[in-house]
Structure 1
Amino acid sequence: MCTGKCSRLIGLMLLPMAFLCIGANLLLIFPNAETTYTPDNITMQVWLMGGIVGGGLFVLCPGCAAVRAGGKGCCGAGCCGNRCRMLRSVFSSLFGALGGFYCLVVSATALKDGPWCNIAPAGEKALWESPFKNMNESYLKNEDLWTTVCKEPQNIVLWNIVLFSIMLGLSALEVILCGIQVVNALIGVICGDCRKKGNNSDEGL
């Protein structure tokens, strides 16, 4: 596959992943899609904005750069080709890999520590904490603990697990794709695009 076509494909994959990370993080700010618990009863990992900043905004830039690197070069075909855009894509992809890694670390930590929830029985004064943080065994596979320990918000454990898992998986893919794009763009800088002049009908940008 030509470096330009590969770059464009990677960019088109990174862009929706970035938007999905942003969406997942926004949902985490509002448990059960409610504003009742925001901002006082949200975990620190949610406020670290791993999905919005790391897996989202940090990846949008390399995604756009990769799509543009797959188009015509800044001087057109037959001159510098797409080498200039490929060079920019190298640096932006390194930037994106850093953001994806940040999101991955935040998401993994959040899954390990568990959500912030009210553990007080009904009728008693609310007691908010992270009840799974210091447990010897993982709570992830023990669904009985999810409702017996966390009384409020309803289904908060499942809410956190699903959304942080989405962010974790997407950020891992973002790191891999950005790494591939770094190598692909370096090859494009050194060797140029293998597409011939006049074969730019699928380049778009």
Structure 2
Amino acid sequence: MCTGKCARFVGLSLIPLSLICIVANALLLVPNGEITWTKDHLSLQVWLMAGFIGGGLMMLRSVFCSAFGMLGAIYCLSVSGAGLRIGPLCLMHGSWDYHFQHTAGSYLLNRTQWSSCAQPPRVVYWNVTLFSLLVAASCLEILLCGVQLVNASIGVFCGDCRKKEGAPH
């Protein structure tokens, strides 16, 4: 595949992934689809907007500069991975805290613990699902941006293999 066709394929693949990241981050702002928790009870990882900034806006920008896309995807992966490991900010036993942060992520395998968070309702399920989606999408974005960087480098040194108009055959 020529570098020009590869660039088009990678660019077109990154657009839906960036939109998925933006939507997932927007949903993280409204746990269980309710806005009552937004003001004071969202985790730091939600407020860092990794899906909007890293997986979304910087990825859309990667059509012009794959290095920025790569950095954005790494940011999204880092923050989303931390969000999964630490767990959500929730009300448990009368206090708001990151109650799963000392489990080193083991709470992810023990769904019986998830219902311990009284408020927001189903916040653990909500965060695990959406942060997992962000991790998966950002990993694909890192791969595609890596391919795009290699492809662009090959294109710079070897040309893009498209025939020039008006050139003799």
Query: Normalised by the size of structure 2, how large is the TM-score?
Result: 0.93
Provide the C-alpha distance between the structure 2 equivalents of 1:108 and 1:97, rounded to a whole number of angstroms.
16
Q: Which contiguous aligned blocks of 4+ residues in structure 1 show a shift greater than 6 angstroms?
A: none
Matches within 5 A, 1:114-133: 114-120=87-93, 126-133=94-101
CA change 1:27–1:185 in 2 (3 A) is same
Provide the C-alpha distance between the structure 2 equivalents of 1:156 and 1:48, rounded to a whole number of angstroms.
17
Provide the C-alpha distance between the structure 1 equivalents of 2:86 and 2:104, rounded to a whole number of angstroms.
11
The alpha-carbon deviation at position 136 of structure 1 amounts to: 5.9
- Corresponding residue for 2:125? 158
Secondary structure at 2:35 match in 1: coil
Matches within 5 A, 1:50-199: 50-63=50-63, 65=64, 92-120=65-93, 126-135=94-103, 138-147=106-115, 149-197=116-164
Letter in 1 for 2:100: F
The alpha-carbon deviation at position 15 of structure 1 amounts to: 0.7
The alpha-carbon deviation at position 196 of structure 1 amounts to: 2.2
Root-mean-square deviation (CA, aligned residues, Å) is 1.3
Letter in 1 for 2:2: C
- Corresponding residue for 1:70? none
The alpha-carbon deviation at position 197 of structure 1 amounts to: 3.9
How many residue pairs get aligned? The number is 165
Provide the C-alpha distance between the structure 2 equivalents of 1:35 and 1:119, rounded to a whole number of angstroms.
19
Unaligned runs of 5+ in 1: 66-91, 121-125, 199-205
The alpha-carbon deviation at position 135 of structure 1 amounts to: 2.5
Letter in 2 for 1:99: G
* 1:2-52 alpha-carbon deviations (Å, 9 max, x no partner): 100000000000011011101100100111111100120000000111100
Query: Normalised by the size of structure 1, how large is the TM-score?
Result: 0.77
Provide the C-alpha distance between the structure 2 equivalents of 1:191 and 1:183, rounded to a whole number of angstroms.
12
Secondary structure at 2:161 match in 1: coil
CA change 1:112–1:14 in 2 (3 A) is same
* 1:66-102 alpha-carbon deviations (Å, 9 max, x no partner): xxxxxxxxxxxxxxxxxxxxxxxxxx10111001000
- Corresponding residue for 1:76? none
Unaligned runs of 5+ in 2: none
CA change 1:136–1:102 in 2 (3 A) is closer
Contact between 2:77 and 2:134, CA under 8 Å: does it hold in 1? yes
Letter in 2 for 1:164: F
Structure with greater helix share of residues: 2
